[in-house]
Amino acid sequence: MFRRVALIIFYDKQGRILLQNRKEISKYGEEWGYFGGGIEEGETPEEALIRETKEELNFDLKKYTFIGIIKTEDQRGIIERHVFISPLPNMKLFDQREGKSMQLFSLDEAKKVKSVFGDDQVIKKLEQMEFPPPKPFKPLTSF
């Protein structure tokens, strides 16, 4: 199976990232994960990103930067993650509609949580960048 997903990584000024508590909606035993989801047929990664952010957080995402594609393979098949980052807005603007809760984690803390296979690769790529990114931000385009 081949699956394409679009993920949004919200980050704060301290470089912490926002993760979704997935314990009650887990498909693969994960407890934490990124916001985002599957790219539907005929949909661009950006369109999927905006749609998924609206579905999961009832938030109209406007400011985001594409940082690259991460491909992993496991028993589920090949997963192609289109990864975007965005400065964290006021969390009061979020109305979480999927997952139990959300929480900010440092990259070191995020590496220790139980997540879907391959999600750790996203953190490794963030560590390769200057993170949180400076302003103005020059995206890392190749992985």
pLDDT digits (tens, 9 = 90+) for 9-23: 999 999 999 999 988
- What CATH number does residue 66 fall under? 3.90.79.10
**What is the rounded distance in angstroms from the CA atom of residue 50 to the CA atom of residue 61?**
6
**What is the rounded distance in angstroms from the CA atom of residue 81 to the CA atom of residue 6?**
6
Domain that holds residue 113: 2-128
Q: Is 44 helix (H, G, I), strand (E, B) or coil?
A: coil
Question: Does residue 137 have a pLDDT over 60?
Answer: no
Q: Are the C-beta atoms of 62 and 50 separated by less than 8 Å?
A: no
Q: Is residue 32 part of a domain?
A: yes
Q: Is residue 95 part of a domain?
A: yes
Phi, psi of 85 (to 5 degrees): -125, 155
Who contacts 24 (Cβ-Cβ below 8 Å, separation ≥6)? 99, 100
End-to-end CA distance of the chain: 22
Single pTM value for the model: 0.89
Which comes out higher in pLDDT, residue 25 or 38?
Answer: 38
Across 54-73, average pLDDT: 96
Q: Is 135 helix (H, G, I), strand (E, B) or coil?
A: coil
Q: Is 66 helix (H, G, I), strand (E, B) or coil?
A: strand
Q: Is residue 69 part of a domain?
A: yes
Which comes out higher in pLDDT, residue 42 or 99?
Answer: 42
Which comes out higher in pLDDT, residue 106 or 74?
Answer: 106
Domains: count for the chain: 1
Question: Of 42, 40, 120, 136, whose CA–CA distance to 87 is shortest?
Answer: 136
Tell me the pLDDT band of 34, cut-offs 50, 70 and 90.
Answer: very high
Quote the mean pLDDT of the chain: 90
